[in-house]
Each structure stands twice: as structure tokens, then as C-alpha cells.
Structure 1
Amino acid sequence: MSVSLIPLTGIPEVGAGDDLVALLLGAADAADIALEDGDVVVVSSKVVSKSLGLWADSADRGAAVMSQTVRVVAERMSQGRITRIVQSTAGPVMAAAGVDASNTGHRDDVLLLPANPDAEAEHLRVALLAATGLQRLGVVLSDTAGRPWRSGQTDFALGASGVLVVDDLRGAVDADGRPLSVTARAVGDELAAAADLVKGKADAIPAALVRGTGWALPHGGAGARVLLRTGREDWFDHGSSEAVRAALGVEPGSLEAEEVGIPDVGPTPRADRLRRAVAVALRGTPQVGMDVGGDEVHLSGQSAYQLGVAVTRLQVALWGEGLTTEAPDEVDGVEVRLEVRER
């Protein structure tokens, strides 16, 4: 298989109401490129958002992000501002719900993602087929995101139509004849990432053709939403700190999370982490007193049971902050002093 990546250059700044199909075909004609059956057209979701007029005021970017958020996965303080990883209304889990201020054509506003990326991809595919007379074209709306466990960002399929987005190889065999039980290639994401090699992030090239893959379909297909892990398949529905805090009743994205303090992106003094842990632990034990002095916490309660609950909650909260402590084997009365150290 030989695959070609062809950038569609010369597309002007897109405005609300612009005909993207005409702009794409005009760029292809100007480069003496004719679309062929089996081509996959990869289009930056940003130009789709621009054509739909999906702008929001950058002065309240936080509100824009929350308006596009289904749930908060993780959040960190960075330079005095909260950065959130969220499940977006568009579908994927992304930083800031995909709300973006880059490549906005010198506007101060921010762009939102299309609410239904698969439907927008289908609209483009149908219009391109009608304009060209072709029978089989794929369309991928691409966006950019980071990935767990990996540095940097890459493009992925936010929306898709006319493309086999998942090549499910389960039940087949590998090159050595061994059965494949879990392998399912994310073809939609691979197409988006491949196209970005010629689109780039700073070259004002929002679209490209991927030719020769064989992944284009004669119908709309399932769309990119099938690539999303949800429900029991989502093993990472909270960040590491957020999972601990949520188990103690402090959900990310909530007012309670802001009240107890949101973890920072960078290194944080132990005193600040200890303060947050105590605040989280106290939310479930209002009848217990906690005093912090240096690396020591003094707890007092009205009963041994209350004290035990408080110690346990504090140990869990400390773990979420990279700290730990050990309760004494025996407690005299309803008071205890705990020494806190790095985990």
C-alpha cells in the first residue's frame, strides 16, 4: 500500500456562513488536484467551527469551558488559572473542552467545538459527493489533544463520515498465526494524525487529502464517536488526585474543590499540600478538630469512633497529595498526633 498526503493550500480565512465545500474544491483546483474515489479529506474542526460561527468571549474563558463540559476529569492550578481536563459536549476527553484561542484569525474571542462533529463530517461528505459526482469519499474532522502517559499533542478524529474509523482485528491472527484478542486499530485517529504531517499547526493549511488507504466507505459509517471509551470501558474517568478527592466527597469541577484548593501543575510546598489534605478530610468529619503545626497534625474528637474516621480520611487525603502518615498502634483517649512525610 502506498499512501499520499496532499495539503490543500490557499484556503482563505474562514468566516461564519462560508461554503467549506467550495473552499476545499477551490483549493484543490488551484493546486491542480482532482478528488478521486477512495480519498479521505481531513479538515481541521477549527474551520468548521468558524463557518458555524461558534465563538465565545475570551474574557470569560472559564465559563466557555464549563458550558462545553459534560464532566470534569482532572483540574490543576497553573499560573493562577484553573486548567481542566474534561469530557466535552463534542464527545472526547480534552483539555479545556477543546475551547481554543489559537489560529482564530486575529480575533480576541475563543472557538468552541461543533456539538455534533460526526454530523458536520457527514454534511461535508454528502456535499462533496454531490459536487464531484464521486461515489466514495471519507471525511475526517480533526482536532488536537494530549494523551495519557505521552508528552506532546497529536491530531485525532473528532468527527468522521464515510470512513472505517476502527479496524477491528479481534478474532483474526497476527503475522505469526497467533490469535488477536484485543487489537482494534484506531484508523480514524491515524488518518487525522497522518494528515497533520502536511497541515501543521502554524502554516494556515486547514485541510489535506489522504490518498491510497482503502479506508473510505460508500456510506456514512459509524462516525468517530465509536472511538470514545465510556462507562465501564473508561478506566480513567478521574485523574489520580481527583479519584482520591472524589472518594472523599470532593468532586473535580465543584465549588467544594475550589474551596479546599485545587492541586497545582508544578511542584508545591508540603505545607500547601498538607493544608489541602486536611481541608478535604475535614469535609466528612465536621465534628473532629484538626490543627496543623509544621509536619504534624493534631486531631481531636468526641469519641474514638469519630477520631478513627478522621484519621482514616486524612490518610487517604494525604495519599492524594503525595504524602503519608502512620497512626499509632494505640490511642489514649480521643486525641492523636500524626507526623506527616513524603510518600
Structure 2
Amino acid sequence: MRLEILPVLGIGHVTEGDDLAALIATAAPWLRDGDVLVVTSKIVSKAEGRLVDVPADGPERLAARDEVLAAETARVVASRGPTRIVQTHHGFVMASAGIDASNVDKTRLVLLPVDPDASARALRAALREHYGLDVAVVVTDTMGRPWRNGLTDVALGVAGMSAIRDHRGEVDPYGNELQLTQMAVVDELAAAGELIKGKCDQVPVAVVRGYLSATGPDDGDGAKVLVRDAAQDLFSLGTAEARAAGLADAVTLADGPGPTPADPAATRRAIEAVVGVVAPGTVFTLVDESEVRAGLIAEVPGWPDGATALVLGSPPAPVEPMDLVRFGADLHRLRVALAAEGIGSALLPPPSGSTASATLAL
């Protein structure tokens, strides 16, 4: 495969209502069927009127920008000082919801297109209907990466090709069947186009030639397939935000054992995790011996169905009233540590005749 990346020069400033297809076709009469048109989302937004007026400077500008950001945000992923990483209503996770103040008048902000896939489809259709061109269109914007410094362009919308090349089920030269490999080819094309578009050169469109021999029979599923479902996202919150969410969950910790038997090793890890922070002399004991455990369970009032393990808790002796208050707090610390290991617990009275002061049923 031989690829060419070609700049589309001479498009000039784009304003609301401009015909992007006409601007591009006029600036690039050399376009061919099968080309991939890589279009910066900013000119799409400008043509579609996705701009808001804000003060040119001062605290009023910051306040107006914050208001716009709040409107474009579906949820906050992470926040550090003035920086906000958010999920947009499209599902994209990016800094400041993609709001941009560059290459635009100082009294305006540019928002992302409402539906980048629809924008890509509309531009592709206009080029086909009015200029007889059968091209793919990728609408792009710049994003950071969670584990790497630097930015790169990615696809927000696409029409005329698949966003992902799925290699699952293919066999490599060593006979191994590929199980997980799905390449986000439109992101790769977006990054390739950015190499010649740049940020200050006013080249908002690039053409990647040679990747497609022909476009797809239809517009395809768009770039929305690149948005990872929240249930599958292992990094849906920033570190500080995840910690804060965990602390908030600790306040409303459910009282009851989990759906599966508690893992003894995980239970011991939880006990070890709180040893250094509980009151000196406080003891938590996981009862390992099955016969002993069965005998104690029979003596615990209200033992819940499904619980298979127990931890006995004893405060330091002698016990003063404030020691009992602290013991209650330490019991909750242990319950939170158990929850962090995926182990539910129920706080119960101690077994009859035991020297312990409390029981956790796991």
C-alpha cells in the first residue's frame, strides 16, 4: 500500500452558512473517487453556526466559558485546577468538552458539531450529488491521551467507510488466531491528516489517498462505534474523582453479605489494611476453623441467609464509653476495606458467651 497525504489549500475563513462542499471542491479540483477527506471539526462547526458569543477577556469571559462548558458536559470525568476532562453529550471524553478559542475571533467560542457523523454524511452527500465525487469523509478534532503526553487528532464523525477494522478471527503468520485486535483506522487517518494540516497553518482539510480503493456502499455506522460503553470503561473517572466516589459510597455502605462466599485471603487483606489505623488493642479475627465457625454462627442472633464467614471484633480493654465510639468507627473502617475487596458484610451482635463485642457476617 502506498499512501499520499495532500493538503487542501486556499479554503480561507469559514463562516456560518458557508457551503463546505463547494469550498473544498473549488480548492481541490484534483479530488478522486476513493479519497479520504480529513476535515477539521472547527470548520464544520463554523459552517453549522456552532459558535457562542463571550466577552473578550476578564472574569466575565471565564464565567461565560464555564457556563458554556457546563451546558456541553454530560458528566465530569476529572478536574485539576481550571482543567476539566468531561464526557460530552456525544459520549466523547475530552478536555473542556472540545470547546475551542483558537482560530476564531476573541469574542467567540467554537463548539463541537451537534452530530459529527451526520455532518460527515451531509458533506459526503453534497460532494457526490453536486460534484460527482465518491469520497469518504472523516471529521476530526484534537484530543489528549490518558497515559501519554502530547495531543493527536481523532475522528469524531465518519461517512463512507468503517471506523474500525476488525481483525478478530484472522490468523497471524505464526498460526495464532487474533482475539481482540480492532484497529481504529479512522483515528489513524485523522492523525495522518493532522501532520500536514497543523494548528497555525490554516489548512483545515487534508486528503489521504491510497488507503481506500473504493468507498463503502453506504455511509457506514459512523464514529459513534468508537465510543466505549460506560459499563466497559475501566477508567471512567480520574483518580481523585474515583477516590471521592469511593468515600461517598462508604457513607451508604449496604448492610449484608455479598452474593458469593467471601474469599479468606481477601478478608485477611482487608483486616491487614486497617491494622495500622484502628485503636491500639482493637482485634479483628477471621474464624477459619469450620467446626468452630459453625458453632459460633449458631450462637449469633439474626445470622443472615447466604453468609458463610464471620469476623469477630473486640475493642481494647478496659472499655470506656469513648472507646466504644471509636470501636464502632473502626468496625466501619473494616467494612469499607472488605467492600473494597468485593466482600459484603452485616454487623451483628457477638455470639452468646463470646468475649467479642461484635460480629461481621460475610
- TM-score, normalised to structure 2, is 0.67
Counterpart for residue 291 of structure 2: none
Mean CA deviation greater in 57-66 or 218-227 = 57-66
Cα offset, 1:232, TM superposition: 2.1
Residues 145 and 155 of structure 1 are in contact (CA less than 8 Å); yes or no, is this contact kept in structure 2? yes
Cα offset, 1:126, TM superposition: 0.5
Cα offset, 1:63, TM superposition: 1.3
Cα offset, 1:315, TM superposition: 9.4
Residue in structure 2 matching 1:179, options 157, 177, 180: 177
Q: How does 1:164-203 map to 2 (within 5 A)?
A: 164-203=162-201
Residue in structure 2 matching 1:307, options 329, 335, 350: 329
The answer to whether 1:52 aligns with 2:48 is yes
Quote the Cα distance in structure 2 between the aligned partners of 1:175 and 1:159: 34
Cα offset, 1:171, TM superposition: 0.6
What letter corresponds to residue 174 of structure 1 in structure 2? D
Counterpart for residue 92 of structure 1: 92
Q: 1:305 to 1:52 in 2, by over 3 A?
A: farther
Quote the Cα distance in structure 1 between the aligned partners of 2:40 and 2:335: 46
Quote the Cα distance in structure 1 between the aligned partners of 2:78 and 2:107: 27
Q: How does 1:143-154 map to 2 (within 5 A)?
A: 143-154=141-152
Quote the Cα distance in structure 1 between the aligned partners of 2:217 and 2:121: 12
Q: Which has the larger radius of gyration?
A: 2
What letter corresponds to residue 96 of structure 2 in structure 1? A
Counterpart for residue 63 of structure 1: 67
The answer to whether 1:130 aligns with 2:129 is yes
Quote the Cα distance in structure 1 between the aligned partners of 2:77 and 2:208: 33
Residue in structure 1 matching 2:208, options 204, 207, 210: 210
Q: Does the residue aligned with 2:248 lie in a helix, a strand or coil?
A: coil
Residue in structure 2 matching 1:76, options 56, 76, 80: 80
Residues 137 and 217 of structure 1 are in contact (CA less than 8 Å); yes or no, is this contact kept in structure 2? no
- TM-score, normalised to structure 1, is 0.71
In structure 2, runs of 5+ residues without a counterpart are: 55-60, 250-321, 339-362
Residues 137 and 218 of structure 1 are in contact (CA less than 8 Å); yes or no, is this contact kept in structure 2? no
The answer to whether 1:37 aligns with 2:59 is no
CA deviation profile, 1:116-170 (whole Å, cap 9, x unmatched)? 1101110001001112223x31000000000111110000001111122100000
Quote the Cα distance in structure 1 between the aligned partners of 2:192 and 2:217: 22
In structure 1, runs of 5+ residues without a counterpart are: 251-299, 317-343
Cα offset, 1:40, TM superposition: 0.8
Q: Does the residue aligned with 1:146 lie in a helix, a strand or coil?
A: strand
Cα offset, 1:314, TM superposition: 11
Quote the Cα distance in structure 2 between the aligned partners of 1:304 and 1:168: 57
What letter corresponds to residue 184 of structure 1 in structure 2? Q
What letter corresponds to residue 66 of structure 2 in structure 1? G
Q: Does the residue aligned with 1:10 lie in a helix, a strand or coil?
A: coil
Cα offset, 1:65, TM superposition: 1.0
Q: 1:143 to 1:313 in 2, by over 3 A?
A: farther
Aligned CA-pair RMSD: 2.2
Identity, % of aligned pairs?
A: 46
